[in-house]
């Protein structure tokens, strides 16, 4: 049954058939159409028993004495791209934020803001891929909401996800814990997500070669933590603003300097080529399937070995080190022997990338 068939007896005018396949403003009314949208397009995919109760709030079991909580809105344009879509990005992004704090992701809530006129088939595909990625990650989608706004008052679909994670033991990581002497590791090549979105949106012609790196990183984090007996100081997924912005935030939060070695930073050929065309620096390009780890020098080899032993981290490498000099600053030692400051960007290199 489709949402439009719910109108049945109550509808005065027959709905044009093209309208039957799109989201209507009435789907956001809180009435029968809303109920049909949820019943026919959301719940067939999101099958958590807790969600199906449709209470005002989900009630879920918890354990331990602390929770990790993270929230993000996703406004990526286009909604679908090589390697993923806005829904997968939301699930992975939220899982990764929890994983970066050292938590095990357990529950996700999802809220959709839908522009009137969105094709229901598009919504169905996105909801289905969210359900798939959550199931693969072992995370339950437990609560949700849908709102519909008039045509021209949004851009297809915005997705906001909130994640709840639990802690397994005493391990915590965080941006304030970097220490001079730490080795800076990146779990894989940088810039793939951002350049995939840019190439798809701008029609650069790299779409065949570029694929978003979007992935749920908590299994890789778990392996790293176990291999290093929890000696990891900082983990951060360099999304919006890229590696440069993430490292600047860590340098400021921990009051340390960070020195990068340009030649060691892994960038794939198509990403590099697309960056050249657009005049972008890969260090500022968003990633959705890699993370930065800072570990004591003594644990660096074990950390790299652990990362490389997992399919998500085969190309992990050292890219720099944490210093007591230049606190709050990120420096790049360039291939030709010079060095320059890697600042945060002032503004809008890449809008709507996640």
> Among residue numbers 44 through 73, which ones bind a copy of itself (CB under 8 A)?
53-73
**Shortest separation between residue 354's beta carbon and a copy of itself, angstroms:** 8
- Residue 272 dihedral angles phi and psi, to the nearest 5°: -60, -45
Side-chain-facing half-sphere of 349: CA atoms under 13 Å:
21
User: CA of 118: how far to CAs of 18, 25, 30, in Å?
Assistant: 12, 10, 18
Task: Confirm or reject binding of residue 212 to a copy of itself (CB under 8 A).
Answer: no
Side-chain-facing half-sphere of 289: CA atoms under 13 Å:
21
Site stretch for a copy of itself (CB under 8 A), options 130-138, 159-167, 207-215, 308-316: 159-167
Q: Which residues contact 15 (CB under 8 A, 6 or more apart)?
A: 4, 7
| Cα angle: 46, vertex 130, 314; to 5 degrees | 135
Q: Answer whether 139's CB lies under 8 Å from 108's CB.
A: yes
Site stretch for a copy of itself (CB under 8 A), options 139-147, 256-264, 275-283, 333-341: 139-147
**Shortest separation between residue 92's beta carbon and a copy of itself, angstroms:** 13
Calpha distance 127→32 (Å, rounded): 20
Residues 67-126 that bind a copy of itself (CB under 8 A): 67-75, 96-98, 100-101, 103, 107, 109-113
Calpha distance 245→89 (Å, rounded): 20
Tell me whether residue 53 or residue 263 sits nearer to a copy of itself (CB atom): 53
Return the residue of 155, 261, 262, 305 that touches a copy of itself, per CB under 8 A.
Answer: 155
Task: Confirm or reject binding of residue 13 to a copy of itself (CB under 8 A).
Answer: no
Residues 174-203 that bind a copy of itself (CB under 8 A): 174-176
Task: Confirm or reject binding of residue 43 to a copy of itself (CB under 8 A).
Answer: no
Residues 267-296 that bind a copy of itself (CB under 8 A): 284, 286
């Amino acid at each position: 049954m489709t949402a439009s068939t719910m109108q049945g007896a109550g509808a005065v005018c027959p709905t044009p058939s093209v309208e039957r396949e799109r989201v209507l403003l009435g789907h956001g009314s809180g009435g029968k159409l809303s109920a049909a949208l949820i019943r026919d397009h959301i719940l067939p995919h999101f099958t958590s028993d807790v969600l199906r109760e449709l209470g005002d709030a989900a009630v879920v079991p918890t354990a331990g004495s602390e929770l990790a909580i993270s929230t993000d809105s996703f406004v990526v344009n286009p909604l679908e791209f090589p390697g993923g879509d806005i829904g997968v990005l939301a699930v992975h992004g939220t899982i990764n934020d929890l994983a970066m704090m050292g938590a095990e992701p357990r529950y996700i809530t999802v809220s959709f803001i839908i522009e009137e006129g969105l094709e229901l088939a598009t919504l169905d595909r996105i909801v289905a891929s969210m359900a798939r990625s959550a199931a693969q990650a072992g995370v339950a989608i437990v609560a949700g909401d849908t709102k519909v706004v008039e045509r021209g008052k949004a851009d297809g679909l915005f997705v906001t996800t909130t994640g709840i994670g639990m802690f397994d033991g005493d391990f915590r990581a965080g941006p304030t814990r970097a220490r001079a002497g730490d080795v800076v590791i990146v779990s894989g090549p940088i810039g793939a997500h951002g350049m995939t979105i840019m190439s798809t949106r701008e029609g650069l012609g790299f779409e065949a070669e570029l694929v978003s790196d979007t992935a749920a990183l908590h299994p890789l984090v778990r392996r790293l933590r176990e291999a290093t007996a929890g000696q990891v100081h900082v983990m951060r997924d360099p999304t919006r603003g890229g590696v440069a912005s993430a490292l600047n935030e860590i340098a400021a939060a921990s009051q340390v300097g960070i020195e990068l070695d340009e030649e060691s930073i892994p960038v794939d050929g198509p990403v590099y080529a697309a960056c050249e065309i657009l005049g972008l620096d890969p260090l500022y390009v968003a990633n959705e399937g890699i993370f930065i780890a800072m570990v004591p020098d003594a644990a660096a080899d074990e950390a790299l070995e652990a990362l490389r032993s997992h399919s998500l981290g085969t190309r992990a490498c050292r890219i720099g080190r944490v210093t007591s000099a230049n606190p709050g600053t990120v420096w790049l030692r360039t291939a030709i022997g010079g060095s320059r400051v890697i600042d945060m960007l002032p503004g809008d290199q890449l809008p709507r990338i996640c």
